[in-house]
Structure 1
């Protein structure tokens, strides 16, 4: 096996092997567990950096392993895979740092970090899947590895939420499997290729292909939290803050949105999907989800639930970009895959800091929190402004391209939906910022774990990740035209693989 063939497998193993070792570590082996977590995260970043450099220069990285005749496990590092896998690896590094501090002193840490490592392994597998079978395998592994993280605390409420999450995602997996089996029956094998695998089938298969598309989108739409398949997401907010961060910014919802991208562009092909009349209904569904998530966020007092409904709305920006028939919307959607991740993980890290340091879980409890935790609240403010689409932030870049894509695709109604969403974003974020910065605190904090006289507002490893991600939000906005930016990489993907429509 060549180095280029082995590298995708090594990226996968850089989190799988440490996770398997961590499962068997006694709880008291804290230093070894931390070392394994960080070593795996750093090694993954290095290996992905090598692949990024190679893919940018046109190198091919592919690992194949035959499971059965005609059925292969394929890992392929193309430009789209690298966009998602780089996001996952970078944010997982910061989430690991955050989780190490957040879970300090809590029980069952070896179990938590073991499943944590399996979760990143599954996410990387989803990102680098080279065919539909491999995607499905890692997609379901992601479900099974995240369930123990959701129910980690073991309380009645977490078990109920976890069971709800499992019921939704396994049902979605069953629907996805039906679509996978059906399309394999039509084609024999389904590789992810520019232009789509089903383009070889003639008009006689049009009705079957429409049904298969519905099954595949419904299957991945559960994790992408498309309305009405989103009910599991707000309930899953009973999980610890690091789990909430990875569910929303790195793993589960992103895997669903990424699945939509793969289905539209590399299973069906954007031209075939357009010719079958599938893109407009998908865009309408995305717009409905954008508005519904934003409206529901307005009425949530629990901070994490408000952020959860915000995710329901924001992830559908990606789906909308995919469904707009044209390059500009595609670029906006792909860029938002990264931009939403860094903005949302910032917000969840900050929400975790408020809860862990002051016992603040609700918006109504946030009076004066900006004066007590100015750095954390500044990070939250920038993340929230990014979600609103404020200039110089990552969110502005995404919304600019998505709105332009809607106009270019002859769908101005989608641009109006994006404008309405931005107004609703402001309606549910600005009251939080007002309370935090301008309202006086007239009572004690619900549970102040670190005294106000401390030289640092919270533990260092809880503070560093949101500040680092805040810097990324600003850099992605102000330096969006640089060659290494998510926007530039989204343009590279569009140019190389997805928009060869002529």
Structure 2
């Protein structure tokens, strides 16, 4: 068994070493993709080696160097970071399998650059997950934005470049205008940027100043896609589907909501925010984002656009749960990082499989497609049930905790939002399932039948579908881990 410090260092270095190996093997596709899968698997084993110590109450640390007096680039593994690292590293393996089938099946160009940037994105995600302070988190957060830009613009078309400009402009803009000043103010007020259980701002700020700093953080973490800073996410849908899966399930948006939850729990402290009188606006903004984006999704015919606005809504579940500040809602927020990841990546994998096998991109084109692609649409159904919150899919568990927390805190407005959102989720997902299995095939499909997508894509779909069901059936270990956020060991 490797030591905890070695495991932390390896989790940061392995993806970078893998990126180098992928670049060197670019002219030999089979070896390049073997390097991708090997790197992803090795990273997962590095991460999972930290699970037992963290679950037992240990907090492994690694300090690289002091960047400024009193400010170090340092890493510390706590339960929330452990959860994010497990989700990102585990799903990278499955996404790599899917990417090989997708990139080959669609004869995509610049595949080596694609895999190199993907590995770099996972290195940045590990740095975010294990960051011991706001400075370290900020540096890796910005690195993640920059390394994923070539993935968003991968196709090289004018639409891709336009989407990339929106992506980069909004994420860098919110960071520079809001997040960086928030970090500087925190350093000035608290004298530290370390993540500390209970927060570092207790007794340091109150009233308008506390609410203002919270607003800088919440809108500065643009990857959480709170309205009105959400447009980067649908704009990024010009990217290939494996990139959409990375953006929506594995790294980018999860880095956003992870950072929101980390700031609430370890910078402000739930006790400090609960005693404040001017933070209810965050519940209102998150609630509005949930409902408004669900309404947009309901009217979107393009499948990836519908999934994109669904993601915006589901991310704000986590922000809303954090803003409720109840122990049960904090647990639900952490759980939703994992349950949304496996459910949403399943949906995007299905959308990519439909595009690869049937060349269909619109919801209105999916009549009868479940008869031609039964495995794909069965997986889509499970992913949809998870996001709606219907058992035995994993999303039921996290939604249960969030709603229970809202009820315990007397946040009946938030509870109403969650109920309305559940109905809207059903309204924009279930008609797709019904049309796929119970409506007749179009005349075109009847005369030009198609089957499933390439085998690797279907295998990846089945793995994420299994994970979506397994997180519901075997949720106890995950629950024990995230309970440490509210009951530290």
Please give the range of the TM-score, normalised by the shorter of the 2 chains.
over 0.9
Aligned equivalents of 1:349, 1:127: Cα separation in 2:
24
Aligned equivalents of 2:463, 2:173: Cα separation in 1:
37
1:495 is matched with 487
Aligned equivalents of 1:282, 1:417: Cα separation in 2:
13
Q: Return the TM-score normalized by structure 2.
A: 0.95
* 1:301/1:362 contact within 8 Å kept: yes
Change (3 A) 1:301 1:446: farther
2:202 is matched with 199
TM-superposed deviation, 1:463: 0.4
TM-superposed deviation, 1:446: 12
Aligned equivalents of 2:190, 2:59: Cα separation in 1:
25
Aligned equivalents of 1:278, 1:46: Cα separation in 2:
44
2:332 is matched with 332
TM-superposed deviation, 1:21: 3.2
Map of 1:48-447 to 2, 5 A cutoff?
Answer: 48-65=47-64, 66-104=66-104, 105-174=107-176, 175-199=178-202, 201=204, 206-220=207-221, 222-445=222-445
**CA deviation vs aligned residue, 1:204-237 (integer Å, no higher than 9, x gap):** xx543332221111111x2111111111111211
* 2:71/2:193 contact within 8 Å kept: no
Aligned equivalents of 1:278, 1:294: Cα separation in 2:
27
Moved more, 58-67 or 107-116: 58-67
Moved more, 48-57 or 206-215: 206-215
Q: Return the TM-score normalized by structure 1.
A: 0.93
Equivalenced residues, count: 484
SS in 1 for 2:229: coil
SS in 2 for 1:103: helix
Q: Cα RMSD (Å) of the superposition? A: 1.8
SS in 2 for 1:444: helix
Aligned equivalents of 1:133, 1:446: Cα separation in 2:
58
SS in 2 for 1:75: strand
TM-superposed deviation, 1:490: 2.1
Change (3 A) 1:415 1:200: closer
SS in 2 for 1:471: helix
SS in 2 for 1:63: strand
SS in 2 for 1:298: helix
* 2:77/2:130 contact within 8 Å kept: yes
Change (3 A) 1:479 1:447: farther
Aligned equivalents of 2:112, 2:461: Cα separation in 1:
24
TM-superposed deviation, 1:447: 12
1:32 is matched with 31
Q: List alignment gaps of at least 5 residues for structure 1.
A: 498-502
Aligned equivalents of 2:48, 2:34: Cα separation in 1:
21
* 1:98/1:461 contact within 8 Å kept: yes
SS in 2 for 1:307: helix
